[in-house]
Amino acid sequence: MTGMDDFRSDTVTRPDAAMRAVMASAAVGDAVYEDCPTTHRLEAMAAERLGKEAALFFPTGTQSNLAALMAHCGRGDEYLVGHKAHTFLYEGGGAAVLGSIQPQPLPNEPDGTISLAAIEDAIKPDDFHHARTRLLTLENTFSGSVLDPAYLEAATGLARRHGLGTHLDGARLMNASVATGCEADVLARGFDTVSLCLSKGLGAPVGSVLAGPRDLIQAARRLRKMLGGGMRQTGILAAAGIHALEHNVARLADDHARAARLADVLAAFLELGSGPAQTNMVFMTPVAIDVDAFRRFLADRGIAVGGRYGNLRWVTHLDVDNASVDRVQAACEDYFSGDGPH
Amino acid 287: pLDDT = 74
pLDDT of residue 340: 55
Across the range 67-92, mean pLDDT stands at 97
The CATH class for the domain spanning 251-339 reads alpha beta
Weakest-pLDDT range from 230-234, 250-254, 338-342: 338-342
Percentage of the residues of the chain whose pLDDT score is greater than 90: 88
Residues 131 and 76 sit within 8 Å (Cβ to Cβ): yes
Say what percent of the chain tops pLDDT 70: 97
Q: What is the pLDDT of residue 271?
A: 78
Q: Say how many CA atoms lie within 13 Å of 226 toward its Cβ.
A: 13
pLDDT tops 70 at residue 274: no
Q: Is 55 helix (H, G, I), strand (E, B) or coil?
A: strand
Asked if the model's pLDDT at residue 2 lies above 80, the reply is no
Amino acid at 290: D
Per-residue model confidence as pLDDT tens digits over 150-182: 999 999 999 999 999 999 999 999 999 999 999
Mean pLDDT within 208-222: 98
Q: What is the pLDDT, as a whole number, of residue 337?
A: 86
Tell whether the model's pLDDT for residue 118 goes beyond 60.
yes
Q: Give the pLDDT confidence of 15-54 residue by residue, as tens digits.
A: 999 999 999 999 999 999 999 999 999 999 999 999 999 9
Q: Which residue has the higher pLDDT, 342 or 189?
A: 189
Using CA atoms of 61, 65, 66, 72 in order, give the dihedral in degrees to the nearest 10. Answer: 160
Mean pLDDT of the chain: 94
* Cα angle 82-291-3, degrees, rounded to a multiple of 5: 95
pLDDT higher than threshold 80 for residue 342: no
Confidence of residue 1 (pLDDT cuts 50, 70, 90): low
pLDDT at 55: 98
pTM over 0.85: yes
- Which of 258-267, 268-277, 294-303 is least confident? 268-277
Topology at the third CATH level for domain 17-247: Aspartate Aminotransferase; domain 2 (3.40.640)
**Predicted confidence (pLDDT) at residue 327 exceeds the cutoff of 70:** yes
Question: Which among 143, 170, 171, 147 is positioned nearest to 315, based on CA atoms?
Answer: 143
Say yes or no to pLDDT of 339 above 60.
no
Q: What pLDDT is recorded for position 309? A: 65
Q: pLDDT higher for 196 or 306?
A: 196
**Domain extent listing, the chain:** 17-247, 251-339
**Residue 150, exposed/middle/buried by CB under 10 A (0-12, 13-18, 19+)?**
exposed
